[in-house]
Amino acid sequence: MIYRRLLPLSLTLLISLFSGAPSLTQGAPTGDWRLKEGSVYDGDTFRVIHKTSGEELKIRVACIDAPELKQPGGKRSRDHLRGFLALNPTQLSLKIYTQDRYGRSVASVYLANPRNGRPLLANGEMVASGNAFFYEKYASQCRDIAPTLAELEQKARTKRLGVWQDGAEKPWDFRQKARR
C-alpha cells in the first residue's frame, strides 16, 4: 500500500534529478544561473535565467529591504546591486526559501568571486555597504544568514554607511505611508 503512494513521488524525484531542471526547494544553493541583462529593478529585486533550461525567475533578495527608488538612496542602492552582480553575472547560485505574494522567488544570492571562485553573498554585501536594511521581520525565512545580516547591519550603522549616513526612512515605513 505504501509503495503505491511512494512510486509517483519517487518517479517525480528521479525525473527532476536527471532532467537538468533547477530545483526550487529549500536547501543548498543551486548554481547555473545568470543575471538577465538589464533586469536589476531596485536594490533587492532582479531576474535570473537558468543556463541549461532557460527558465527565468524574478528574485527578491531574502531578508533585506533596500530603499524604494523614490526614496533617498533608492537609486544608489539599485546601482550598487547592479555593480555587485556585474562582478560575475554568469556565475550565480541561489538558495530559494519561498515565494512571496508577488510570485518572486525569495532567495539568498551568491556569486563566484572572480578572483578566487569563493562565493560572495549579495544579501550580505547590500547590508554591509549600507545599501539595504536587514529585514528582521522575515528573519525566520533565512535563519542560516540572519545572524550574519544583523551583525553586518550593526557594523554599517556604526560606520554610518549608506542609509545610516542619510538617516533614511526604512522602506517598510515608506511603503506603509504611501498606502495611506
| pLDDT of amino acid 114 | 87
- CATH code: domain of residue 110: 2.40.50.90
- One DSSP character per residue, the chain reads -HHHHHHHHHHHHHHHHHH-PPP-SSSS-EEEEEEPTT---BTTEEEEEETTT--EEEEEETTEEPPPTTSTTHHHHHHHHHHHHTTSTT-EEEEEEEE-TTSPEEEEEEEE-TTT--EEEHHHHHHHTTSSEE-GGGGGGGTTTHHHHHHHHHHHHHHT-THHHHTPPPHHHHHHHHH-
Structural domains of the chain, count: 1
Please check whether residue 174 lies inside any domain of the structure: no
Confidence category of residue 180, pLDDT binned at 50, 70, 90: confident
Please check whether residue 12 lies inside any domain of the structure: no
Domain with 51, as residue range(s), is: 23-163
Judged against a pLDDT cut of 50, whether residue 54 lies above it is answered with: yes
Please check whether residue 3 lies inside any domain of the structure: no
pLDDT in tens, 139-162: 999 999 999 999 999 999 999 999
**Model confidence, pTM:** 0.82
Judged against a pLDDT cut of 80, whether residue 164 lies above it is answered with: yes
